[in-house]
Amino acid sequence: MQIYFAPLQGITDGVFRKIHADHFPGVAKYFMPFISPTQNYNLTNKELREIDPGNLHVPAVPQIIASHPELFLWAANQLADLGYDEVNLNAGCPSGTVTAKGKGAGMLLSMTKLELFLDEVYGKCPIRVSIKTRLGWTSKDEYPRLVELLNQYPVSELIVHGRTRAQFYEGEADPGTVIDSLAMCRMPVVYNGDLFTPQMCKAFMDSNPQFHGVMVGRGLVANPALVRTVLSGEALTRAEMQQYHAAVYEGYMQVFPKSAVLGRMREIGKHLALCFEDAGKIVKKMRKASSLAAYDAAVCELFEHDIASDPGFRVSL
Ligand SMILES: Cc1cc2nc3c(=O)[nH]c(=O)nc-3n(C[C@H](O)[C@H](O)[C@H](O)COP(=O)(O)O)c2cc1C
């Protein structure tokens, strides 16, 4: 079974992905945070940099968020010209500003509109199209109907996050609905949601071998060695965490101004800190650090702690 790195806007950019793959190989595919083609058929400079194959270095799948098939197809053709052979459709982003435009999880509001979109996209897209979605808009009862619709298309992989849009990231993900519907799915299915630690991930994979793979987001940002631990049992060490943290920091120093480095490192640091014993207070210090000096001080303190058993993401400390 494959393990994929979930796309996390603001975290898993090209710099991060390369350093992660250099230090902790084993992720089968990195899904890239979405690009959002504008009505004028444009991508931002940042998006163009991200999709430039020269900046890739790792197996990465670009993701498009769009409500109009012609915009999706325009961006997919750009990606095909750049040499990509797969593109992922974001049909799961729960953000209100996104769904108000009928994008992301907003696509789940009308099966009729979704069908028209998919007819066009699967009729004309020159490369494989996988889909990342949720159980439904308000209720998991919507999921079987969604699968019935998706079964009509050559969906290369279906990645399902085990929550509805109404749940955003609240409460617990529900793999049960995805597992119960597996038999009716014609396409390979990948499960995503709340597989936060190596043990959680391994337990899920061992009990559900019929999945094509799992996709892990927050758990892998927190514990960069999660895939290795799942596959070989070799646990994360404090020394490799220190080296990895230093490399990510240095990587961002090379491409961002210091103020942006602080923002990035606070976000990544507060995830990494969750892997340490009794790190609650330090996570708060990292989150509030108003300068790189304050961040550095919190990091020094953090590395005096031991790695927790089964390190990974925690909802709260
Ligand atoms: C900060 C943040 C940014 C995200 N950005 C994206 C994105 O660009 N595209 C996408 O499909 N999902 C995005 N997601 C959702 C994640 O890919 C993933 O589905 C979610 O974190 C649940 O997986 P996990 O429980 O393993 O973290 C984002 C989630 C977070 C928390």
Tokens at residue 12, please?
A: 């898993």
Separation of 221 CA from ligand 1 center, angstroms? 11
Give the type of residue at 121: V
Residue extents of the structural domains in the chain: 32-194, 238-302
Distance of CA 279 to the CA centre of its chain: 25
Give the type of residue at 18: K
How many angstroms separate the CA atoms of 135 and 142, rounded? Answer: 7
Spell out where 52-124 has E strands: 60-61, 63-64, 86-91
For the cut 70, the answer to whether the pLDDT of residue 317 exceeds it is no
According to CATH, what is the number of the domain 32-194?
3.20.20.70
Q: How many CA atoms lie within 13 A of 104 on its CB side?
A: 19
Task: State the CB neighbour count (10 A cutoff) for residue 203.
Answer: 13
Report the candidate in 286, 169, 311 with the shortest Cα–Cα distance to residue 235. Answer: 311
**Cβ–ligand 1 contact at 193 (below 6 Å):** yes
Pairing label, strands 29-31, 2-5:
parallel
**Cβ–ligand 1 contact at 7 (below 6 Å):** yes
For the cut 70, the answer to whether the pLDDT of residue 200 exceeds it is yes
Q: Which atom of ligand 1 is nearest to the CA of 92?
A: 11
Task: For the chain, report the end-to-end CA distance as a whole number of angstroms.
Answer: 31
Q: Which atom of ligand 1 is nearest to the CA of 6?
A: 17
**Best of 4, 8, 12, 30 for a ligand 1 pocket test (most atoms within 8 Å of beta carbon):** 8
Give the model's confidence band at 279: pLDDT under 50 very low, under 70 low, under 90 confident, else very high. confident
pLDDT, one tens digit per residue, over 223-273 is: 999 999 999 999 999 999 999 999 999 999 999 999 999 999 999 999 999
Cα maximum dimension of the chain:
56
Q: Which atom of ligand 1 is nearest to the CA of 33?
A: 8
How many angstroms separate the CA atoms of 190 and 238, rounded? Answer: 31
Separation of 24 CA from ligand 1 center, angstroms? 20
Q: Which atom of ligand 1 is nearest to the CA of 195?
A: 26
| Interaxial angle between packed helices 292-302 and 280-288, expressed in degrees from 0 to 180 and rounded to the nearest 10 | 170
pLDDT, one tens digit per residue, over 26-55 is: 999 999 999 999 999 999 999 999 999 887
Residue 277 is given by DSSP the state T
Cβ atoms of 220 and 8 within 8 Å: the answer is: no
Separation of 136 CA from ligand 1 center, angstroms? 16
Nearest residue (CA) to ligand 1, atom 10? 7
**Cβ–ligand 1 contact at 125 (below 6 Å):** no
**Cβ–ligand 1 contact at 132 (below 6 Å):** yes
pLDDT, one tens digit per residue, over 229-241 is: 999 999 999 999 9
Mean pLDDT of 138-146: 98
**Cβ–ligand 1 contact at 162 (below 6 Å):** no
Separation of 304 CA from ligand 1 center, angstroms? 30
